[in-house]
Every structure is written in C-alpha cells, then in structure tokens.
Amino acid sequence: MASIQFSKPAQSLQASVIVDLMNQALAQPDVLSLAAGFTDNSILPRSLVRQMSTALTQVGLPNEPLQYGQNQGRLGLRELSCRQLQQFPNESPQAFIAEQLFLSNGSQQALYLAMQTLCDPGSIVLVQDPTYFVFLELLQGLGIHAEAMPCDVCGQIDFEALTLRLQAMAETGQLACIRAVYLVSYYANPSSHSMDLAEKKQLARTLQSAGVQVPIIEDAAYRDLYFEQAHAAPSIFSLSEWAAFPKLYLGTYTKPFATGLKVGFAHCSSPEWLQKMLITKGHHDFGSAHFNQALVESMLLAGAYASHLQTARQQYAAKAARLSDTLEAGGLKELGWDWQAPEGGLILWLRAPANMDLRMQSPFCARCIEEGVLYVPGDLCFAHSTPWNCARLAFGALSIEALSEAAERFCRVAHTFAP
Amino acid sequence: MASIQFSKPAQSLQASVIVDLMNQALAQPDVLSLAAGFTDNSILPRSLVRQMSTALTQVGLPNEPLQYGQNQGRLGLRELSCRQLQQFPNESPQAFIAEQLFLSNGSQQALYLAMQTLCDPGSIVLVQDPTYFVFLELLQGLGIHAEAMPCDVCGQIDFEALTLRLQAMAETGQLACIRAVYLVSYYANPSSHSMDLAEKKQLARTLQSAGVQVPIIEDAAYRDLYFEQAHAAPSIFSLSEWAAFPKLYLGTYTKPFATGLKVGFAHCSSPEWLQKMLITKGHHDFGSAHFNQALVESMLLAGAYASHLQTARQQYAAKAARLSDTLEAGGLKELGWDWQAPEGGLILWLRAPANMDLRMQSPFCARCIEEGVLYVPGDLCFAHSTPWNCARLAFGALSIEALSEAAERFCRVAHTFAP
C-alpha cells in the first residue's frame, strides 16, 4: 500500500502513556489499577437514567431528544447548568449566563476547542506544576508548548518563582508566545490541591504585572465532588481581579454523574471566542449527542442531582480515606513518603523521597506491575517531566476492599525499595 | 476586556451558512425548511431506545454501559458494524475487520480526524463537484483547499476533464499538495448520485495514472437509506483497483437510526493512520459516549435494525416521491428546471436553468424566505462556488403534507422568476 504523507502535527503524535500502561497490565490478569480515572460502577445512576430514558422516549415531546439538537446544546440544560454553578459558595449573582455556555462531549472537547482557537504550533500555554497529564498530551498533539508555573509540593503556585520565570520569558521573547493559562482549580488532577481565594487573586495580579493578559481556562471538572463541603473560593468569573481577562470555565456531568454519557460544558466570557469555538465544534460534530443532553437536563429538572451527588461524595470520601489510611498503615510515611489527604475529587498525589525514581521505565514501576498494582508516574504530569518521585493514585474505580489490597501491594513495593 | 490573539485558522473562521439561513428563518414563523438535514421525527426508534435503555441500566452488566468505554469504541459494536457492512452486495469476504474500525461522534468526527491527521494548512483535497457542503466548511476551518474533480450535471465524474485538471495541477506543482480524495458514493449529499462500479474503478485508474496515490475517504453516510434495493457497487475496500490506496470508509447510525445518539464509525486500511486518528480522538474526547454505543450495539444484537430500516426506507421513499411529484405538478420542468428522482438518502438536487441565480444573497432566495420555504443554495456545495443555479432540498424532516406545501411554495417562487 502507498505510504501516507501525514500532517505535521500527526507526524510526531505519541500514544497516550495510559494506553501503554493498560497494555502492560493486560498481560497481568489480577492487576489492580490506580491509574485510570474511571468512576465507581456501584454508584452509577442506573435507575435515574432508566427513568429519564423512559420519559424521553415518549411521542410528541418538544425539542425531540432523539433528533439532532443545536450545535451549542439544549437551552434548558445550559440554563440549569448556570443555575447549578450559581449555587456554589461566593459566586457573584449572574456570573453564569446560558448564552455564554455551550455543551460539549465531556469538558475535554471544550478544552480541545479552546486550544484549537487560541494556539498555533509553537504557542505557549502556562500550566500548574503538576497539571492534568492528558492536557499535556493534547498540547503535544497540537504542537503547543506547556510552560510550568512553579508550584510548591502541594501544588500551590510559588509567586516569587513565577514572577522570575515570567521575567526570564520576557527577556527571551517567549512571553509574547503565551496564548493561554490553564488552571485546575478544585481538587486538582493530580495534586488534589484547590486554589483558595488568595491564590486566585494573587495569580491575576502576578500575570497582569507581567503583562500576560491572555485567556484563562479554569478546569473545574471535580468541583461537584467535594467530600465535606464545597470549596469556598468562587470561580474566576466572580473575582474582580480577573475582570479584564478573557475567561473560560469548564465543568462536566461526566465524572460526577455518568462517565458513559459524556456531557460537559464550557462558559466563556468572550462572545467572539465562544463563536469561534462553536464554529469549530460544528466542524467536529455539529453538537454533542442530543439525547444525552436531554437525559442530564431531565435529571436536573427532577431535582435528582443533589441526592446522587450526596451518595457519590460519601463513597469517594470513604475511598479516599481507605486509600490514605492503608498507605499510612503500610508504613509509607515512615519511609519518607508524603501526601495530603484529598478533600474532594478522585486522586491522591503521592510524593516519595526526592531521590526516588517512579517513572514508567523505572524498576519501581516494573515491580509494581509485577506485584499487580498500577499508578500513573508523576513525571508525566509535569511540563518539564521532573521531578521523578511522584505518583498519581486514582481511587474512583476500585472497590473499598480492592483499594486496601492495591495500597498494600504498593506499600510492599515501597518497602522493597527503601534505602 | 483584553483582546484575544486567536490561532491562525481561527482568525478566518466563518459561521456555517446553515446557521445564517436558520436565523433568517426564525424571523419568519411559518417557514418550512428544506435546508436542514434532519431526519423524520415520526420514525425515530423511541420504543427500541426505551427497551434497550431499560436493559442497559441493569446492575452488573459486563463492560458497564454507563462507565467510560474504550477510546476506539465497544468491540461488540465494532464487530457488528463490520458484519452489517459485509451484508451489502458484492463486498469481498473479510473486507471489514473490527480491529480496523473505530466509533466516533457521528461520522463527521471521523472525517475531521482524517483531515487533522492528513492535511496541513495549504494542503489540497480532491472532492466531487458538488460535494457535502459542511465538508467544505470543515476544510476551510482547517485552512485546507478543496479542489473539484469535474462532474457532469448528475454528479458523475468526468474523467477526461479530471485527467486534464490533474495534468494542469502537475504543471503548477499543486499535484504534490493533494493529501486526500473525498468521495460521497451512495445517494450523495447533495447530488443524490451513487457511484457505480465502472465509475469507482475508473477513478482509481485515473488517479493512479496521474500519480495521485493518496488516501481515499469514502463517505457512505446514506448507504443504509436506499429506497428499493441496496446500490450494487461495493465499497472501495472490495475493489482491487483501490488495493494500493490507503482507504477510509465512513458509516453512521446517526442518519439511519437516531440523530440524537450520534454514533458513527470509520474503517481504515492503514494501521498507522488509524493509530494517529485514535490518538487525536483521545485528545478530543477519549472515546465517544459509551452508553450510546451500547444502545446501538444491543439494538443490532436484538436483530431490530432491519425492520427499523424498512420503515425508514418506506417513509423516505414516499417523501422523495411526494417532493419530486409536487415539483413536477407545479410545472418546474416546463420552466426548464431538472432533477433526478432520488433512489435513496434524504436529498433532492435541483438544477434551474443555467442563467438563474439561487445563491443566498439572490432575489430568488430572499423571495423563498418571504414565501416561507428554505433551501440550501447549491453554490455552497461547489468547491469553486459555481454554478449558481442549483438548490439542495432535504426531505427528511418535514411531514408528507408539509413537503407538498413547501414544494408548492417553491414552485410559486420559480414561476415568479420565470423568463
């Protein structure tokens, strides 16, 4: 067969590390995965989906759910999503408006559209250090460079170091290539850090002082999945420090409601940017599956989301606690490992002693696969691929019992590698 | 708010013409749209979807439908899709293999992924003349040039003219920029032409002679929607003339089953190309909504597709006939208009006398909107935006009665503009 001339970005595409990891795992039958960010099968909203599907397949409904919908998404769900967002603590009245919001195939698609409309190959996007590793892969696929905003070990931005880095970028001319800033601001994947009010405000001031008034993308995928109470800091849409910045807020029903439905959304402060993302979305798919939007909309209308979330929060809180407790009981802290107990989300972020190597190709990682436990090597979450001593553990999918077992396996390996 | 620096492709994005047309229509309450390619609400598979949703929301199913699925899509549906394709007339045994097929958000997403992986800004894609106008918009959004393969008025390729054009492109150096050929081969949108065996074979020979051995994309979105019998020509995957070409076949359950579910697929002859499209799809969305895939899979498994299609075919055949008959009864042929009666699909392609102007900004189009009938101006379907005397009429959405009324309105306008 004739050889194919691929596009420039496609020539250097690399397969996702998660795919490699999964393939390795498949060779090993009883492996327990703390790697993939799946959610808990036991709390998927089966009866809600059944009930809503039955209602939505009646004859003669307005805005027929099994027909195409609008490219921007169902107005009803866009309005209800804004109402949901307004209920979070400390949001300004009217921070979220249905006209500025569009529905997407999970929030991931909206993130992709944001990058397509803002960045060319060679553009720079500022990210937290660590950041969501799939976003780093997405950037690489588009030929966009990620530049780290220095953070402390807990994932909080180090503003002195950031200022110095921005100054250095100004000197090399790189500053002008920054097209966007990407923040994971609630129970971040992977650090599980939430940005508080002071950090959010300080970031706006630091960027503005440096002359970096580019679009800000706030990825709040896990915001609904708090354990005890909603994080107090409002979104960047409600903070006057961010008023002059173009803003995009990403939310989703995928993680908190049903991963199999893939309904996410994005709220944009700039009509021009929104329009460009919508046109590009039209080229991708003319709008996400309308039936799925209608399912989520009718679930919200029925007032069923709060109690679903209550169940989910309890479950994930219990899982986070079990994972953390088992790692602690396994003596990991005595070996010099450290972590913050998550307050929400689906991720626990582990830091081994500084000299340890947990990368994919490391003896430690190989030993974990042999022992039957998978994790995401933390270096993959850093824009500059260092440090090497971190691990992302996802606790969404495994049962409580399996989490104990996985953590025990992990601790056994850690003891083997103790100095 | 700070101004945004957009990516180069985003700077020149243009809104879809259909959006403009719809906005004009909204100002006019009783408008009947022959423009949008919606399907028939009355035959949407409501009870099938209800039944399958009930079955798929039981506890403990393997490959849990409400959880994330694989990026490539459910193996079961990929296998069943191959089996469906093998049932078309004259396909080679084993022409379609599940490993080479992936599921997408409608076939549109697969088309987008194909273009992203094959083309850079400035690349050229050969298209039929006319071709699917949303594809032309998609290309424009990516900075890719569409070059027309000359066709006769019925949409059949004129091979003498094509050979001359390819020679001319060789002389200007453009030939080397051709990265793909895009074919709509069954009941084409908009020409309603189906490529027969001779045309398919001749195209392969003509391209090969000209040294254009680039990837071929066969878009078969309407193939299931034949009226009397399946079109006899097999896909390019079953023709030895195409053996040396990299090939992609696009199919969908969106149009023939449920537009609200958005399940499409693509079958690729090149493992390397497939891999690059899958990686890029992972960046878009990590896989299409798993629940929707499971719905379509279980509907196929239950053997329910054939009888659904039978209903759909009867309905669309009746609609095509009513539209064609009403236009004829309205005296359009006497005025010098012409068209082929469709043998499948959802589109009737009208040709006015050569000197007429039916473009969006034409008095004819304005008069149609006033009269309360919308169509897609045909110039939008031509890579070079000429001729101006064609109109795409979609008959999927309107009821039989509304189709009569829309056709009568259209004929009234045509009489007004008669010489």
- Of residues A46, A141, A282, nearest to B283 (C-beta): A141
**What distance in Å separates residue B223's CA from the closest CA in chain A?**
19
Orientation angle between helical segments A197-209 and A159-172, nearest 10 degrees = 20
Distance between CA atoms of A82 and A88, rounded to whole angstroms?
11
- Partners of B215 on chain A (C-beta within 8 Å) are 4
Residue of chain A whose alpha carbon sits nearest to that of B66? A260
Burial of A334 (0-12, 13-18, 19+ CB in 10 A): exposed
Residue of chain A whose alpha carbon sits nearest to that of B291? A260
Q: A294, B19: Cβ pair inside 8 Å?
A: no
B138 touches chain A (CB under 8 A): yes
Per-residue pLDDT tens over the stretch A292-320: 999 999 999 999 999 999 999 999 999 99
Whole-Å CA distances, B19 to A24, B22, B25: 47, 5, 10
Residue B2 has a pLDDT of 85
A180 touches chain B (CB under 8 A): no
Q: B243, A286: Cβ pair inside 8 Å?
A: no
Residue B314 has a pLDDT of 98
| Domain extents in chain A | 8-44+307-416, 49-305
The continuous run of DSSP H or E covering B76 comes out as helix B75-86
Distance between CA atoms of A204 and A187, rounded to whole angstroms?
20
CATH pick for B8-44+307-416 out of 3.40.50.2300, 3.50.7.10, 3.90.1150.10, 3.40.50.620? 3.90.1150.10
Q: B279, A141: Cβ pair inside 8 Å?
A: yes
Residue of chain B whose alpha carbon sits nearest to that of A240? B1
- Of residues B39, B213, B285, nearest to A262 (C-beta): B285
A393 touches chain B (CB under 8 A): no
B256 touches chain A (CB under 8 A): no
pLDDT at A29 over 90: no
Amino acid (one-letter) located at B419:
P
Residue of chain B whose alpha carbon sits nearest to that of A272? B4
Question: Mean pLDDT score of chain A, rounded to an integer?
Answer: 96
Q: What is the ipTM of this complex?
A: 0.97
- Nearest 5°: the CA angle B344, B346, B348 is 90
Q: A214, B279: Cβ pair inside 8 Å?
A: no
- Of residues B13, B117, B138, nearest to A10 (C-beta): B117
pLDDT at A231 over 80: yes
Residue B37 has a pLDDT of 87
Along chain B (419 residues), what's the average pLDDT of each consecutive run of 10 residues?
92 82 73 92 97 97 94 97 98 97 97 98 98 96 97 97 98 98 98 98 98 98 98 98 98 97 98 97 94 98 98 98 98 98 98 96 95 96 97 97 98 95
Distance between CA atoms of A213 and A220, rounded to whole angstroms?
21
pLDDT at A26 over 70: no
- The number of CA neighbours under 13 Å toward the Cβ of B185 is 28
Q: B280, A67: Cβ pair inside 8 Å?
A: no
Only one residue has tokens 């399907």, namely: B39
Partners of B100 in the beta sheet?
none
Residue B191 has a pLDDT of 98
pLDDT at A18 over 80: no
Q: A57, B67: Cβ pair inside 8 Å?
A: no
- Partners of A273 on chain B (C-beta within 8 Å) are 4, 6
DSSP symbol at A34: S
**What distance in Å separates residue B416's CA from the closest CA in chain A?**
34
Distance between CA atoms of A188 and A191, rounded to whole angstroms?
5
Q: A53, B54: Cβ pair inside 8 Å?
A: yes
Measured torsion, CA atoms of residues A79, A85, A90, A92, in degrees rounded to the nearest 10: -30
A38 touches chain B (CB under 8 A): yes
Residue B26 has a pLDDT of 66
Question: What CATH number has the domain spanning A49-305?
Answer: 3.40.640.10
- Partners of B256 on chain A (C-beta within 8 Å) are none
Per-residue pLDDT tens over the stretch A267-278: 999 999 999 999
pLDDT at A380 over 90: yes
Rounded mean pLDDT, A115-122: 97
Window 259-278 of A: residues touching B by CB (8 A cutoff) are 259-262, 269-270, 272-273, 275-276
Q: B105, A284: Cβ pair inside 8 Å?
A: yes
Total residues belonging to chain B? 419
**What distance in Å separates residue B19's CA from the closest CA in chain A?**
10
Least confident of A13-17, A338-342, B6-10, B258-262: A13-17
Window 187-216 of A: residues touching B by CB (8 A cutoff) are 213-215
- In chain A, what percentage of residues exceed pLDDT 70? 99
Residue of chain A whose alpha carbon sits nearest to that of B22? A70
**What phi and psi, each to the nearest 5 degrees, are found at residue A367?**
-65, -35
Rounded mean pLDDT, A166-182: 98
Taken in order B191, B193, B194, B198, the sign of the CA dihedral is negative
- Helix/strand number for chain B, H first, E second: 13, 12
- Of residues B1, B109, B290, nearest to A270 (C-beta): B1
Q: Is B355 helix (H, G, I), strand (E, B) or coil?
A: coil
